[in-house]
Amino acid sequence: MGDLLAAEPDLARAADGFADRFGRDLSVRVTIVAADGKVLGDTELDGEALAGVENHAGRPEIVEAMRDGEGRAVRYSHTLAENMLYVARRIDPADPRRGVVRLAVPLTAVRLAQEQLRLPILKAAALSVALAALLGWLLAWRPARRLREMARVASDIAEGRPGPRAYASGNDEVARLARSLNRMAGQLEERLALLARERNQLRTVLDGMVEGVLLTDATGTILLANGAFARIFAAQQPVEGRRPLEAARVPALQEAVEAALGAAEPLTREIVLGGGRGKVIRASLAAIHEGPRTVGAVAVFHDVTELKRLEQVRREFVANVSHELRTPLTAIKGYAETLRDGGLKDPAQAAEFVGVIHRHAERLRELIEDLLDLAAVEQGQARLTLVPVAPRDAVAQAEAVVRPAAEGKRQTLSVAIPDGTPAARADRDRLAQVLINLLDNAVKFTPEGGRIGVGAAAGNGRVVLSVFDNGVGIQPEDLGRVFERFYRADRSRDRREGGTGLGPAIAKHLVQAMGGTGEVDSRPGAGTTFRGSLPAA
């Protein structure tokens, strides 16, 4: 239509005819407008009505078409009394002076056309979406199944359950991802197995230690503790996840851990359990640092109770032996100086002083011999000849030595050895020495007129020799220390009787050297019984 109008030389005269013809053919309203806005032709107007139409130069679609070549607008038409869609275009796109042709369509017709097209469009769209969804599902089903499988494998790995690997055939991205996941799963499984093995090894090492080991976090909560820790502190299981005070009920332990967490250097503490005579635990503690932060503490506990006891015994031994040596030496020195300073001029007094010196020298000799004898037995250097020894023979040998002292205190010394008592496998002289030491000890600690006895019994391949008395007895707190060197339950009485405090210790070590065991029973005020058990010959 634009080409026909552009080819018409006298458009002003033929414009209305063109508008009428094109309007009928297109079933739309056609308006031809000159460049100055004058309406030259209109499908709906003729003659005077056409001549009276107002100038269209200001109409929006005309302005836009003259400027850009094409324009459109929607507005109410007073001529047709309804809303219209106006579309305008230059008659000659290259020459705006030729004017504009405008088409007008009622919006009711547009809406009707839209309603007619809507259902086919919706059907086509729905069919397209369904086809696209089906095609997408078909294309995504296999990768999605493989991704779900990989998700299952990843979930098993995260929960620590090694299982079947993901399907990894092909060379697409999903297959490469599956191979990477399988490789990661294998490496993770190897590392988990290594960690489990190392954890079990560490737990075995810790549980095999006699020292207690404790590991805490930065708040002092227990992360790890071995069995020795639980045994040393009688901790309530489980200890993990609890504070030391909650697990062991030992305030000193809690204080030590808190001190270690706040200390820059390792520290050592001694923890006493059960009072002054209970266990003594030496704790070595250190904080664990990660950069400037303290993330926990580690502590190692050593039970040094026996070391403390031995150290105390050593101190007492040094003090006792010094005292025992000093007493006779002081007496010898004092009486010797008295003799030197003129005591020799009085023969009677000199003889008395010499007797005192001899008595203390003899005591000193006995003490030194006992010490040397005890040292030889303890170091395994005592010469022993183990042969069958009849208990009656060893008792008779000891009785002959001790009976004079017992009779001097009017004590009754009895021997009760049943007939048929088997021989013991022992050293004859050493067994007699054991009985002499124990009988001498009984004589010293039994009052005048008391009773002392020696007995023997056999059973289970052993021969048990016992020495008993009805003397002062031993207090329960002293009973466990009777066999210590120089230990005296009644120091003043023993010293008055001239004892060294080494007799029971020597007796026990000799019995042990001959393959036997020694023990003691006593009740204060009711007497004491020493027993030595030896293998039967």
State pLDDT tens for residues 232-244: 888 888 888 899 9
Q: Which residues contact 358 (CB under 8 A, 6 or more apart)?
A: none
Residues 419 and 528 in one domain: yes
Residues 399 and 330 in one domain: no
**Which structural domain, as residue segments, surrounds residue 354?**
308-378
The model's confidence at residue 121, banded by pLDDT at 50, 70 and 90, is confident
CB 298 within 8 A of CB 257: no
How many CB atoms sit inside 10 A of residue 310's CB? 12
pLDDT at 493 over 50: no
The model's confidence at residue 167, banded by pLDDT at 50, 70 and 90, is low
Closest to 406 (Cα-Cα) out of 347, 470, 342: 470
pLDDT score recorded for residue 377: 66
pLDDT score recorded for residue 27: 79
Residues 263 and 316 in one domain: no
Whether 57 maps to a domain, the answer reads: yes
% of the chain surpassing 70 pLDDT? 84
The model's confidence at residue 79, banded by pLDDT at 50, 70 and 90, is low
Residues 399 and 527 in one domain: yes
Higher pLDDT, 102 or 502: 102
Residues 326 and 415 in one domain: no
Residues 531 and 394 in one domain: yes
Q: Ranked by mean pLDDT, which of 17-26, 106-115, 203-212, 216-225 comes out on top?
A: 216-225
pLDDT score recorded for residue 496: 45
Residues 26 and 66 in one domain: yes
Per-residue burial over 211-244, b = 16 or more CB atoms within 10 Å of its CB, e = otherwise: bbbbbbeeebebebbbbbbbebbebeeebeeebb
For 216-261, what is each residue's pLDDT tens digit?
A: 999 999 998 888 888 888 888 888 889 998 888 888 899 999 999 9
Whether 148 maps to a domain, the answer reads: no
Phi, psi of 289 (to 5 degrees): -115, 140
pLDDT score recorded for residue 286: 93
Q: Are strands 412-416 and 451-459 parallel, antiparallel or unpaired?
A: parallel
Domain count across the chain: 4
pLDDT score recorded for residue 523: 83
Mean confidence (pLDDT) of the chain: 81
pLDDT at 146 over 80: no
pLDDT at 473 over 90: no
pLDDT at 398 over 60: yes
% of the chain surpassing 90 pLDDT? 9
For 49-66, what is each residue's pLDDT tens digit?
A: 788 888 888 889 888 988
For 267-306, what is each residue's pLDDT tens digit?
A: 999 888 875 557 889 999 999 998 889 999 999 999 888 8
pLDDT score recorded for residue 83: 80
Whether 19 maps to a domain, the answer reads: yes
Whether 511 maps to a domain, the answer reads: yes
Output the 3-class SS for 288-310. Answer: EEECCEEEEEEEEEEECHHHHHH
Last residue of some domain: 357, 378, 399? 378
Whether 356 maps to a domain, the answer reads: yes
pLDDT score recorded for residue 322: 73
pLDDT score recorded for residue 498: 47
Residues 256 and 331 in one domain: no
pLDDT score recorded for residue 187: 79
pLDDT score recorded for residue 333: 83
Q: Tell me whether residue 468 is exposed, middle or buried, using C-beta atoms within 10 angstroms of its C-beta: 0 to 12, 13 to 18, 19 or more.
A: buried
The model's confidence at residue 181, banded by pLDDT at 50, 70 and 90, is confident
Residues 409 and 337 in one domain: no
Whether 521 maps to a domain, the answer reads: yes
pLDDT at 8 over 60: no
Last residue of some domain: 92, 112, 132? 112
Last residue of some domain: 244, 271, 303? 303
Whether 359 maps to a domain, the answer reads: yes
Whether 450 maps to a domain, the answer reads: yes
Residues 526 and 413 in one domain: yes
Residues 296 and 319 in one domain: no
From residue 402, how far is each of 221, 222, 261 by CA, in Å? 65, 63, 65
Residues 416 and 362 in one domain: no
pLDDT score recorded for residue 495: 46
Structure tokens at 208: 């095999």
How many CB atoms sit inside 10 A of residue 154's CB? 14
Question: CATH code at 221?
Answer: 3.30.450.20
